[in-house]
Amino acid sequence: METPLSAQPAVLVLTPLHPDVKNGLSGRFEIVEAAPNMAGTLPPAVLSRIRGVACAGSIPRSLIDVLPRLEIIASFGVGYDGIDVGHAAERGVVVTNTPDVLNEEVADTAVWLLIDAARGFSKAQGWLRQGRWTSDGPYPLSPCSLRGRSVGIWGLGRIGLAIARRLEAFGLTISYHNRRPVAGVAYRYQPSLQALAAAVDTLIAAVPGGSATDGAIDGGVLAALGRAGIFINVGRGSTVDEQALVRCLSDGTIAAAGLDVFASEPNVRADLLALGNVAVLPHVAAATVKARAAVARLVVANLDEWFLHARALTPVPEADVSKSAISTA
């Protein structure tokens, strides 16, 4: 049922955002739409009404400061390194993201990247389409294989666990590094990223961006991974020193890589794209109609829950100001 206009909380939707967010909010919220860099120039009377923001992983810190009644930032997506969550928490603003609903899509993508990096099937497909099977004879043997690989997952969280379950079924051994060991899992814990890389030949990154992980995949980590090494990234591009990665892929320090995320998206280094031993995707790990609709529903559900019951469904730990997260299971 439609809420009377005067009783509707005002929510600022930072554009562009999935249309299901606006559609899902309409009737119960006053919706104000603006681009992130223009929102601060809305009339003061509008800014002072805004109690919630819906955004796609980032919001200018300065915008938080011009919204005196702001209570909640509901972010679309699981990564929230573009939101100053510490600043939001200081202001008493809860920040929510959309965990879980895209785990399986991202894990599927990680497995595809790993298989393609190891076996070069994309290249083989291009070769076949060029008509080279008839002219060149059989396709060359793949120097790499998944068989016998030892996988290290950097970030055994929701997505990391979904990746681990898949690769266990592939018959591969799994280790991991987080800041803390995960209770109740049988995978071997390594106390540092460097130790993890040294212990495995296949490293999969599924950690958040931010200062704690910035550039952590560097020349030393890749050297520890070794000449048979394959590096896969479905977390954030900022976690990788891309110059070091290009060097290590070029000089044989590691064998191959598979990347869905890059340091300066949508710009990807030309020297990285030119390499024959890297599988690349344009940040599409969770980009399905189904997953994006589920993400939009969770953004709307967080705003509904907040304004109906003063609780957030999926607050991020750094800005869980309500301290009353409830399970979505």
Which residues are identified as catalytic? 236, 265, 283
Share in percent of the chain as helix, strand, coil (round to 5): 40, 20, 45
What kind and span of H or E run contains 170?
none
DSSP 224-240: HH-TT-EEEE-S-GGGB
| Among positions 9, 120, 152, 208, the unique one binding ligand A2R when judged by CB under 6 A | 208
52 binds ligand A2R (CB under 6 A): no
What would the x/- binding string for ligand A2R be over residues 236 to 275, using CB under 6 A?
A: x---------------------------------------
DSSP 110-145: HHHHHHHHHH-HHHHHHHHHTTHHHHH-SPPPPS--
Question: What's the half-sphere exposure (Cβ side, CA atoms, 13 Å) at 201?
Answer: 16
> Would you say 35 and 15 are in contact if contact means Cβ atoms under 8 Å apart?
yes
Closest distance to ligand A2R from the beta carbon of 298 (Å): 12
209 binds ligand A2R (CB under 6 A): yes
207 binds ligand A2R (CB under 6 A): yes
Q: Angle of helix 103-119 relative to helix 121-129, nearest 10 degrees?
A: 70
> Would you say 305 and 25 are in contact if contact means Cβ atoms under 8 Å apart?
no
Dihedral angle at the C-alpha atoms of 109, 53, 95, 160, nearest 10 degrees?
0
Stretch touching ligand A2R by CB under 6 A, among 11-19, 167-175, 206-214, 298-306: 206-214
Residue type for position 253: T
292 binds ligand A2R (CB under 6 A): no
| Among positions 129, 147, 180, 323, the unique one binding ligand A2R when judged by CB under 6 A | 180
- Going by C-alpha positions, the residue among 2, 49, 48, 59 that lies closest to residue 25 is 2
Stretch touching ligand A2R by CB under 6 A, among 65-73, 84-92, 119-127, 151-159: 151-159
Stretch touching ligand A2R by CB under 6 A, among 8-16, 68-76, 175-183, 268-276: 175-183
Q: Tell me how far apart the alpha carbons of residues 43 and 41 are, in angstroms, rounded to a whole number.
A: 6
Q: Which is nearer to ligand A2R, 206 or 248 (CB)?
A: 206
Q: Which is nearer to ligand A2R, 8 or 75 (CB)?
A: 75
315 binds ligand A2R (CB under 6 A): no
Q: Which is nearer to ligand A2R, 25 or 151 (CB)?
A: 151
212 binds ligand A2R (CB under 6 A): yes
Q: Which is nearer to ligand A2R, 180 or 323 (CB)?
A: 180
Q: Which is nearer to ligand A2R, 178 or 288 (CB)?
A: 178
What kind and span of H or E run contains 163?
helix 158-169
**What is the C-alpha radius of gyration for the chain, rounded to an integer number of angstroms?**
22
211 binds ligand A2R (CB under 6 A): no
153 binds ligand A2R (CB under 6 A): no
Dihedral angle at the C-alpha atoms of 206, 209, 215, 219, nearest 10 degrees?
0
| Among positions 159, 200, 204, 272, the unique one binding ligand A2R when judged by CB under 6 A | 159
155 binds ligand A2R (CB under 6 A): yes
Stretch touching ligand A2R by CB under 6 A, among 144-152, 207-215, 290-298, 299-307: 207-215
| Among positions 36, 79, 237, 258, the unique one binding ligand A2R when judged by CB under 6 A | 79
Residue identified by tokens 């909010």 is 25
Per CB under 6 A, residues contacting ligand A2R are 78-79, 99, 155-160, 177-180, 206-209, 212-213, 235-236
